[in-house]
Structure formats: structure tokens, C-alpha cells
Amino acid sequence: GLSTILTIYIGGSEAIQGRITEGNIAQFLLYIGRLTWPIASLGWVTSLIQRAAASQARINEFLETRTSISNTAAVAEQIRGDIEFRNVSFTYAHSGIKALDRVSFHIRPGQSLAIIGRTGSGKSSIANLVCRLYDADEGEILIDGKSIKDINLYSLRSQIGYVPQEVFLFSDTIANNIAFSSLSESKEVIAQAAKDAAIYSSIIEFPEKFETMVGERGITLSGGQKQRISIARAILRQPRILIFDDCLSAVDTQTEEEILHNLARIMKGRTSIIISHRVSSVKQASHILVMDNGRILEEGTHEQLLGRKGAYHQLHLKQLLEEEKA
Ligand SMILES: Nc1ncnc2c1ncn2[C@@H]1O[C@H](COP(=O)(O)OP(=O)(O)OP(=O)(O)O)[C@@H](O)[C@H]1O
Ligand SMILES: [Mg+2]
């Protein structure tokens, strides 16, 4: 456009004065023409590169996110399952809610601890800390007498069978959902875990049995069935520590009894933490904590707690009445 006119005008007057020839002008215009596209595309490529750089920077930001949980111990080791909380306080950083306030307890290998208490009292937070999903703000958590921070994180987690409060199932077969992290498990091992979780008989009634798809592309399981698949997944690997977070809430008391009976066998020799709202789920435990507002309100065995005639006793009476009504 403008550059061509300028070239012809200036070139023209120069040519008239005899300093250059018409051929030079034509040549010059030709070269300018050839330069236009490369220069325009240079601008385009530069903007592309800049956009890519900006995206890459964001991706890096994400990739470089480090959790505050650091794995300092390199060697994996077999744990025995001794768990001790010493004056542990914990506040969720982003909400500022103090979930645990100076909680102390000690579970010896093979023992069972039950945690009961109203909603929001801090029960799941204890489970989260044992799995080291978070680090405590104050106090100490010891596993086998060693600070939890000095234990290899992956080794620790691989030795904990955790049934979270919210069940998560994949859109996959039932067998793969149970085998989950250990896909090499044999059919017999998976079937045994299903039996122990009292879900086996339901599974073999499905048309494709263990190969039945669950989730969006398959059948929809009931809440109680999902919970039991989640239990089967946790016990499959026979971990040293078992944590059941409210995992029997969606099953009736009869199924609960059946599962607890099976679990008693599996929990033998393993450390277990059972979280529940129901006295019937926790009464067998070696030690029971009654949580309230992040603190331990009462503790002891079922009999000791009933003898105290406190909150636990009242809860027990209330639930007995409800059961009779049902
Ligand atoms: N991920 C989280 N982020 C922020 N606050 C949380 C988180 N999880 C729990 N809290 C808060 O911490 C407190 C204790 O919660 P926690 O889940 O431990 O209770 P809970 O005893 O397990 O209750 P429920 O019986 O309903 O499961 C609650 O006030 C809750 O709102
Ligand atoms: Mg909870």
C-alpha cells in the first residue's frame, strides 16, 4: 500500500535524476513484496509463542505445586500398628475451623479404637491425620513410637486400609473396583474380600457377576452396596492398620452385625479405628472415644462408659429406643 506509493514516488524522482534505473525500482518492489508475508507471519508466530509461554507458565505452576506434606524418610518399613496422639490440635487452614483440640490417645498393635460423636465433632479429622493427609499443627502423632513425619509416606499409606466416609467407585468392573491398587490380585483373593465385606452374595446375583460394570456405564449400586465394595477394597491387601470411617451408616443393623462379625476376624492382629454414629458399631472396641467439638468428652470401654452415665450412656439409651420402634 503506502510503502509501494512511497517507493514509486521516491524511486521515480531518483530515477529522473538518473541516480537509479527503473529496473532498480521494480526489483525493490518485488523484494518488498516477498518480505511482507514472512514479516507478517513473524508477528503471528511471536504471538503464538507468547501465548504458549503463558500457558506453559500456568502448567508449571500446577506441576510445581508441592503439598505441605513432605516425604522425608526414604526407606519403606513394615509398621507394627502402634498409634499414639499426644495433645494433637489441628485447624483446617483454608476454613480456619479448629477440628481437633488437644486430642490424646494410644492404640497398641492389634487393638481397636472406636470413635463416636455428633456430626462435625472431629472424627474424620482424626482418620485424616493418621493417613497423613494433613500434618497436625500442635502436638505429636507417633506410629510405632516414631514421629509420623519420619515414616516413609507411601509405605505408611500402603499399610493402611482406609474406608473413607464418602465412597468412591470407578466406572469399571466390580472386580477392578475391589482390586483397585493391586490389579494383580487373583480372583480368589477378590472373592474372599467380597465375602468378608458381606457383598459376595449380591455380586454373584448380578448378570455378569464380578465383571459387572458399575457407575455411568453399568448398574447403579445402593449406598450400602457401595460401602461394602469400599470395605472389600480396604481389606483386600490385609493392611496393618484399618480405618473404617462411618462405613456402615447405609446398611441395616442386621447387615451391620454380619459385617462386624466378619471384620472382627479380619481385624484380629491388626490395629483398627472404627468411626460411627452408632453405639452398636463401636461397643466391641478395646477403647472408645466420645468426641465433642474437637475434644475427647468421655473415653473407656463400652461398660466403663455406660457406668459413667454420661453422654455415651444417653446415646445408647436413645438408640435402643429407636431400634425398638423400628
Ligand atoms: N476438608 C475440610 N476443610 C475444612 N474444614 C473441614 C474439612 N473437613 C472437615 N472440616 C471441619 O472440621 C470439623 C470437624 O469435621 P470432621 O469431618 O472431622 O467431623 P466428623 O466428626 O467426622 O463429622 P461427621 O460425623 O459428620 O462425619 C467440622 O467443623 C468441619 O466443618
Ligand atoms: Mg466424618
Average pLDDT of adjacent 10-residue blocks, the chain of 326 residues: 80 80 82 84 91 90 75 75 90 87 90 90 91 89 88 87 86 84 73 83 82 77 84 87 85 78 84 89 88 90 87 87 78
> To which residue does cell 531518483 refer?
14
What does the pLDDT read at residue 272?
Answer: 92
Contact 249, 227 (CB under 8 A): yes
Count of alpha carbons within 13 angstroms of residue 136, beta-carbon side: 24
The amino acid present at 49, given as its one-letter code, is I
Mutate to test the pocket of ligand 1, among 95, 137, 162 (most ligand atoms within 8 A of CB): 95
Give the number of the atom of ligand 1 that is nearest the alpha carbon of residue 277: 25
Q: Is the CB of 99 under 6 A from ligand 1?
A: yes
Closest ligand 1 atom to 165 CA = 27
Nearest to 81 by CA among 270, 231, 268: 270
Instruction: Say what the pLDDT of residue 182 is.
Output: 67
Query: How do beta strands 112-117 and 287-292 pair?
Result: parallel
Q: What is the 3-state secondary structure (H, E, C) of the chain?
A: CHHHHHHHHHHHHHHHCCCCCHHHHHHHHHHHHHHHHHHHHHHHHHHHHHHHHHHHHHHHHHHCCCCCCCCCCCCCCCCCCCEEEEEEEEECCCCCCEEEEEEEEEECCCCEEEEEECCCCCHHHHHHHHCCCCCCCEEEEEECCEEHHHCCHHHHHHCEEEECCCCCCCCCEHHHHHHCCCCCCCHHHHHHHHHHCCCHHHHHHCCCHHHCEECCCCECCCHHHHHHHHHHHHHHCCCCEEEEECCCCCCCHHHHHHHHHHHHHHHCCCEEEEEECCHHHHCCCCEEEEEECCEEEEEECHHHHHHHCCHHHHHHHHHHHHHHHC
pLDDT for position 184: 67
CA 115 to ligand 1: nearest atom: 21
Give the Cα separation of 220 and 167 in Å (integer): 13
Task: Determine the distance separating the centroid of ligand 2 and the alpha carbon of 38, expressed in angstroms.
Answer: 63
Contact predicate 25/15, CB 8 Å: yes
Distance from residue 43's CA to the centre of ligand 2 (Å): 56
User: Furthest-apart CA pair in the chain: how many Å?
Assistant: 119
Q: What pLDDT is recorded for position 273?
A: 92
pLDDT of residue 32: 81
CB 266 within 8 A of CB 198: no
How many angstroms separate the Cα of 127 from the Cα of each of 58, 61, 133, 272? 33, 30, 9, 11
The per-residue pLDDT for 178 is 86
